[in-house]
Each structure stands twice: as structure tokens, then as C-alpha cells.
Structure 1
């Protein structure tokens, strides 16, 4: 009976811990604290120096961490458009390979000096913390509501999804060397290429196979999302078993699945929203349980110094070396450097030396823990501010709306979607729906009406529409509730042919633009800034105004509109968190003091 009691008590404790983590995320969002840091803190508080839970099961942590990261990487690929991958494949590939090696080498040298380690041990520290954590990047960008310009956001998404395999391979090789084996440099490079290539092939085959199965097998209602996430784990585990990179395979499989017509796509996306949340909670709580603060304290100062070097020098050097040949601006490269967040992958990799029994295994784990905490606090807390300062955040991001997705068996190209009609939104101003949208029904006052009976949409209605799957995000704007939507939509557009040069349009309206863009046509400007894949309604900053894409045919803009909205757009948006508001007040006070200091004495 005592065994049953222990099992039930463990289940109670684990579920209660997860519940506390979920509830604490509300507090974290209110004060702007990186949510993943909260989950990590919950695990530490429950651990050996907190509530006294003794947890040292590194094998379980490795297995759970592997599964969680596989699901998160699959989800990252699921949400990445293939056009984005094609546009940034070369720079992202350079960052994911050469960038990891440069970061690991530089950081490893510094770690060896600061921590008084051998050179191979120092390089192992560098390899463990070298990769940008896809889980953290995807998670913080999504939960923070931050939307980046396609060129910058794309390179971050693809790099963070593809660099984990290189960090894993480097870590495993260095652990093997420290365990007594030896590797020739040529053999190491060949092994990396073999594992990466096989992971890519299995990921492609698994992704296309999953698409074929989900579209042909008739599953009971509601099982499609569970089938997809389980298949992602199978692809990952199979690839790892064959000695290849399962993380790369999971990301590539998600990329294939997310860019093909599939059944129940909306249900799969919604399910993965929940799955990735739970994976983050479980992963970071387990990692927090493994940490013993009393063992970490003696290493805090050198570990913080390693983190500072990584953030300020190691990562920026790698980013500037890899992205300079691809014509990224200094501001863009500085932002990509800053968003090199470290997270669960680094702590997860740090469990490998403990699993194989390296003499200083706990040191690697504790240093990785400190680096991750510093990265989450310093970089995770300032990601929105850095995006605005670098000018890479979209001034007119895609809105968040409440949408109901209904799968239509028998076809793959259209979905039935429903929206609550709320005010203010373009839908309440009786605007005409796009021609590719077919109204199906309207629910008003508890009654179901056909579109002819309902007439114009009213606040409080629920509208259901048939629309092509790729265009649904564009329909979201029609039902977006945003205080700036009504102001922005009432500003008239000045239309013109997109074959006109940017310089001619700028001179006509008295706008100042970059000299290098003056000779370009407006169509070429859209293609250049949006990596050759502009879409209807895309917007670009144009001096103090904004360009809007219209008449897009075969990825080419033929008509454009100009929004002269400098005053409205230049106003600073309201602070999202308490910490952001405090930061703004401090900056305003500093500007006042500087202005007073510059005034001539009376």
C-alpha cells in the first residue's frame, strides 16, 4: 500500500507543480517576466534547497527533454513558410553551422580561462551554450506578440530550428573525446555531414509520408492532432536510433507538413499551441528540479562572466561574420545577435556529461544553468525593446483574432472559419468582404441566419465563411479588434503604378528614403525587402509613410498605395508590461536631464 501511496502522492505533486507553473505565467505576463524563467523557478523552489524534493534522474530528464524539444521543433517548422526558408536558407544555414562553431570556439576559450578547465573541457562548455534555442525563440516571439520583418524573422526561425543538431553533435563528440576516445578532425566533419544529411532525408520522407497518411486515413473525429504529434515523435526517435539528427528531422518534417494541403490543419495548429506550452512547462520544471542552488553559488561569478562574453562578443562576432556577405544591415545583425537566446537545449545538453559520468559533469550543468538564466533575464526581458530600437518590428503586425477553424472532409484547399464580430473592427463598418470569401451563415441573437437575411454584420454576431486556406490570415484583419485599426483604415490611400521608381514617389510626397533605394521601382522594393515573396496587403515603411501592396500576381506587386500616417505611427505604443512602463519613465527623465544640461546658463 505504501507504494501506491507514493505513486499517488508523486502524481499529485507533479500535477500541482504544473498547475502552479501555468498560473504563475499570468503573473509573469503582467510584470513582463520571461515566462520560461518562472517555470524554471518553480522547479528550483520545489527542489533540494526549496521544498526538499530530491530529484537526480538525468536519464528521465534526457528522455522527457528529447521528446519536448522534438515537439517544439516540429511546431516551429509547422509555422514556418517555405518561401521564408528559401529566402533565408543561405544566411540561416551559415549561422546554424559556421555560427555555432565560431560561438563555441570563442566562448570555449574564455570558459577554459575563467573556469580553470582544460581546453577540451572549455570547448565543451562553449558547445553546450553555442546554439540559439528554437524553443525559447519561437515561444517568446509568439507569447510576446512580437512580429518581425520577414528577412530578420525568417533567419532567426530557420537558424534556431537548424542549429541544435550541430550543437548536439559537437557536444557528443567532445564528451566522447573526454571519455578517452579520439577523433580525427576530418572524421568529425564527415560525421557531422552524415548525421545532418540523413536527418534531412528522413525528415523530408517523414513529412511527406505524414501528409499522405493524414489525408488518406479516416480517423475518428479529434484524433488528427494527436496522430500528428505522435508521428513527430516517431520521426524523431527513428532518426536518433539510426544515428542521425532527430532534431533536424523533426523540424524538417514540421516544415513539410505545414506547407502542404492537409486535413484538420486548424485543429493541428490549435493542439500544438497547447502541446508546446505543456512541453515548456514540463521541460523547464524538470530542469529546475535538477538544480541545487547551493552547488551553483561558487560558480556564479565566472559563469556570469562566460554569459556576458557570449552575449556581448561571442554571439555578435559569429553573427556579423556569417551575415555580412548577405547584405544585412548593422541594425539587423545587432538584433539577430541579441536574440541568440539560450534555453532548455543548453541545460538539456549539459545533462549528457552527467549521463556518461564525466568527472566534472555537475560543473558543466551548473554553468549552463547560470548562462541560461542570464540570457532569459537580460535578452528575454528586452527582446521587444531591442526590436523597436533596431527597427525590425513590424509597425503594422498581423492582428490576433479569435477564429474558429472547421475542417471540411473531402477537399484540402478551403476551410470553414468563424469569427466573433466585435467593435471596433473593419467588419463593423460594413466593408465589403474580399471576392475570394464566401459567406455561409451568421449567428445573431441565438438565431442562425443566411447571409441574405443577416445583411450587414453587427457587433455581437458570429460570422462563418468559406475561404482558401492560404488566405485565411488575410481575412483575420477584417475581424481584428485593435484600437489602431479604425484610425489606420480611415486614412486614405494614394494609389499608383508599382513600376514607378521609389525616388519619384518619395519626391512627389516629400519623403526621405535611403539613397540606395531611390532608383528601384516600387515593385522591386517590395521584392527586395520581402525576400521576393510579397503578398496582398503587405506593408513597408517608406520614409515617414507606409506602402501597401496591391495587385500581387506571381509574387510581383503591380499596384501600390501610400498611407501618409506619420503622426499616428510615430506615437509610442502603450507599454505592455509594468517593467516596460518603468523603463519608459526612466528614459524620459534622462532626456529631460540632458536637455536641462544643454541649456546655456542665465
Structure 2
């Protein structure tokens, strides 16, 4: 009994230490100019049996479970933060990159893998499929806070949020071809349309149901609303996956619907999921770092093959795929060059690399080690130079400002009122107007204005400026009228 209690306490201690190490590395990743995900992977490798020996972990099934769960949370948080007004303007290039781009990238890498890894053509295309997609966790983390032009950043985020289903479909399809004696190609084609089509339908439907349920139900504690929203993310993935459709695509679509709906306790839901996504990102990359054994990874044979494949992916396969899949979509050569360079690989390829291991394929361990090295070099080289390339190509926009203030927004359920946050942009309808000039509904009160980090006490002659953040007390029945009153003119993407 004492030994069992000690094991539990030891496990909890290690979990706490790994999270602390993850948070600290995230804090210093920006100063070091290295993406946080690389440091998370290194923490896992350091804590593993080939490092300090704290944890021995070699179970790809558990790693896959944790990885998929983390991807669900990360995609959900990313979708919540994405605005329809932005995504609809980049829908065509994003979807083209997420489908045609993934196929072209996978094919290009497969040709190289056939000769570099000395495997069969089916195995080569399996390898290409695994590394064919960009990674949502990596892209969201690296682009957050960067002043990349809005159209480019939105395209990359939308691509990374929607291309995982294609990579998953291709990976599973090639595994089935390898293990099946009589593959059914017609069935695989039908499966693609089934997975993508129902993924979109279920994501949209469950997103609408979730938004309605969050607003209609009256829970006793405000802390339950973020949990309720997260429950719908897990439900959306599982229900969609159980019918053989793309659960990851459904989660991202549902998050877009929820995030662009008029939600009660919106601020709490967003902040909770942002923190939880960070925790799952740390956990996922640390676990994936534990799964790899550095003595196998840093073998000269793996290093040489990994470097060559990584360079071919970054400098040949991805650029060709981007330039071909964005023809006629209004991107300049510089912009397409940047889109090609910013195609980060991250957790998704490593998680997908566990599929051949679980299936017991002959070269699965070789694939995992090479893919891990490809991801590591991609994140390290591309992730640390995104801002540099954007500046050199003159593709930076207005510097993103992180608010220095902190104000917890609340929904006052019993009083049927809310405090909402409104940011005044340059193309806002009420920009440069005084509060007295604005026709507010009678049950609305502007409580505070934050301007360049300073608190401004609102008065009738206070004139609103671009960048102002307003905190407004409003009755729920007037909430939509206030949002319409403070609506932006038709936004333009850089």
C-alpha cells in the first residue's frame, strides 16, 4: 500500500514539475528566439530514460490518445478565436492549401522518401502523408502576437485548422493499403467525401446546438460555462469520429460557430480554453518527447536522412505545393514564398507517426525517428525565422498590441445584464465620436475606457479613439443593439 501511494505521489510530483518546466520554457522561448514547442519536446526528451531517467515511456497507444485529445482542445481554442469576417476572405486559398496543397506536398516528399529511406512506394507515400500537413498547435503558437499581415496570418491559421483531416485520411488509407490483401480503392474515395462532408455538417450542427445551450441554460456557477463549452468540443469529436467522419474537422467548424455566436460568459469561456489549450500543448509535446529515444534519434544515419528530407520538404515540396495550389488567388510571389516558408510541422506528424507503430508495420520505428527529426528541424529553423522572413519580404502589418489591463467580465444572471468588452478600431462606425453623440439604448452604461493602458473615466464629452477598449454594462435584450451600434465598417485584410 505504501509503495502504491508513493508511486501515485511520485507521478503527481513529476506532472507538476513537467508543467512548471513547460511554463518556464514558454516564458523564455520568445527571448531565445526558439518556438516553445521545440523546448517542450526537449523537456520530454530530457526527462525520459535516455535523459535524466525520471520517466520511462514507450507506449505509442497512450501517446496517440493524449495527442488526439490535445489536438481537439487546441483546434477548439483556435477556432474560438477566429472571426468569420476574417476566415471567409481566405476560405478559398486556405481550403486549397489544406487539400490540394497537402496532396502535392505528400507526393513530393514521398518521391524523395522512396529513395532516401529505401522503402516501397506505398510506404513512401505513407511517409509523405504523415508529414504532409502543417500543424495547428505550431502555427497558432508561433503566429500569436506576431505582426504578420492579416490575410497571410489568417490563411495560415485556417489552413492549419483544416488540413489535419486530409493528412489523417491519407495516413489511414495508406496503412490500410499496406495491411490489406485486397484494397478497395472505390470505397476509399467514397470514404473521403463521407469524412469531409459529414465533418462539416456535424461540426456546424453541434456548434449551433452548443451556442444555443450555453445561452439558454442557467447554471449555478459561472465556472461551469467553460466546462460546458469544452464538453461540446469533446462530444463533437467523438460523435463525428464514431460514425467514421472527420472529428478534427468537426471540432474546428463547431469552434468557429461557437466563437462567432453571441455567447453569455464569453470572456470566461475564451480564457479558460486558452489556458487549457496551453496545458494540453505542453503535455502533448512533453509526452511526444518522452516517446522518442535520443540515442536512436541522434544516430548519424537518421540525422543525414532527416536533414535531407526536411530540407526537401521545406525548400522543394512545400513551395511547389503552395505555388500550384494558390494560382489565381491574388497572392504575390513574396506572399506565396512566405506561405511556403511558414508551413510548420509539429505535433500532428508525430501523432500520425504512431499509427504505423500501432499497426505493426515493418519500418514504423524508422519512420517515427525520421519524422520526429523532420518536425524538430522544421519547428527550429522555420519557426524561429518567420518574423525575420516577414520583415525581409515586407509582409508585416500593424504591430499587434497586447492589452496591459486585466478586467474579468461577468454575466449578471439574476439581473439579466452583462458587462461586455468592445474594442474601437480605425474603421469603427463610432470612431472619433463623443459618447454624447452616440444614440445608446436607455439600459446601457459605459463603465470604463482603457486607452493605451490608462483608465479613462467616461463622460459625455469623451471622444472615442481607435484602440480604445470599452467596458459596457448592458441589459441582455439590448446586447445585440449595442454590438450593432459599435460595429466596424467592412474590414479590409492587409
C-alpha contact 2:146 2:399 (8 A) present in aligned 1:
no
Q: Quick one: distance in 2 between partners of 1:417 and 1:63?
A: 37
Map of 1:160 onto structure 2? 160
Map of 2:387 onto structure 1? 384
C-alpha contact 1:43 1:284 (8 A) present in aligned 2:
yes
Task: Determine which of 398, 406, 409 is the counterpart of 2:409.
Answer: 406
Q: Quick one: distance in 2 between partners of 1:314 and 1:539?
A: 28
Q: Quick one: distance in 1 between partners of 2:331 and 2:58?
A: 45
Map of 1:135 onto structure 2? 137
Gaps of 5+ in 1: 420-429, 476-531, 541-602
Task: Determine which of 67, 72, 89 is the counterpart of 1:70.
Answer: 72
1:569-596 Cα deviation digits (max 9, x unpaired): xxxxxxxxxxxxxxxxxxxxxxxxxxxx
Q: Quick one: distance in 1 between partners of 2:82 and 2:374?
A: 28
- After superposition, where does 1:5-404 map in structure 2 within 5 Å? 5-52=6-53, 53-142=55-144, 145-219=145-219, 220-296=221-297, 297=299, 298-397=301-400, 399-404=402-407
Q: Quick one: distance in 1 between partners of 2:346 and 2:481?
A: 32
Q: CA deviation at 1:396?
A: 4.6
Query: What secondary structure, in the 3-state scheme, does the structure 1 residue paired with 2:472 have?
Result: strand
**Bigger Rg over Cα:** 1
Q: Quick one: distance in 2 between partners of 1:106 and 1:272?
A: 36
Query: What secondary structure, in the 3-state scheme, does the structure 1 residue paired with 2:446 have?
Result: strand
Query: What secondary structure, in the 3-state scheme, does the structure 2 residue paired with 1:465 have?
Result: strand
Q: Quick one: distance in 2 between partners of 1:289 and 1:325?
A: 44
| 2:466 pairs with 1:465 | no
Q: Quick one: distance in 1 between partners of 2:119 and 2:449?
A: 68
Query: What secondary structure, in the 3-state scheme, does the structure 2 residue paired with 1:440 have?
Result: strand
Query: What secondary structure, in the 3-state scheme, does the structure 1 residue paired with 2:384 have?
Result: helix
Q: CA deviation at 1:347?
A: 0.2
Map of 1:534 onto structure 2? 490
- After superposition, where does 1:486-497 map in structure 2 within 5 Å? none
C-alpha contact 1:404 1:418 (8 A) present in aligned 2:
no
Query: What secondary structure, in the 3-state scheme, does the structure 2 residue paired with 1:36 have?
Result: helix
1:501-545 Cα deviation digits (max 9, x unpaired): xxxxxxxxxxxxxxxxxxxxxxxxxxxxxxx9833xx796xxxxx
C-alpha contact 2:434 2:461 (8 A) present in aligned 1:
no
Deviates more, 1:176-185 or 1:81-90: 176-185
Q: Quick one: distance in 1 between partners of 2:327 and 2:292?
A: 39
CA-atom RMSD in angstroms: 3.1
Q: Quick one: distance in 1 between partners of 2:480 and 2:401?
A: 16
Q: Quick one: distance in 1 between partners of 2:184 and 2:357?
A: 25
How many residue pairs were aligned? 461
1:207-253 Cα deviation digits (max 9, x unpaired): 00100110111112211111111220111112111111010000000
Task: Determine which of 441, 446, 466 is the counterpart of 1:439.
Answer: 446
Q: Quick one: distance in 2 between partners of 1:229 and 1:118?
A: 42
Change (3 A) 1:38 1:431: farther
Gaps of 5+ in 2: 424-431
Q: CA deviation at 1:56?
A: 1.1
C-alpha contact 2:100 2:325 (8 A) present in aligned 1:
yes
Map of 2:427 onto structure 1? none
Greater length-normalized contact order (CA 8 Å, ≥ 6 residues apart) = 2
Q: CA deviation at 1:24?
A: 2.3
Task: Determine which of 416, 420, 423 is the counterpart of 1:416.
Answer: 420
Change (3 A) 1:258 1:452: closer
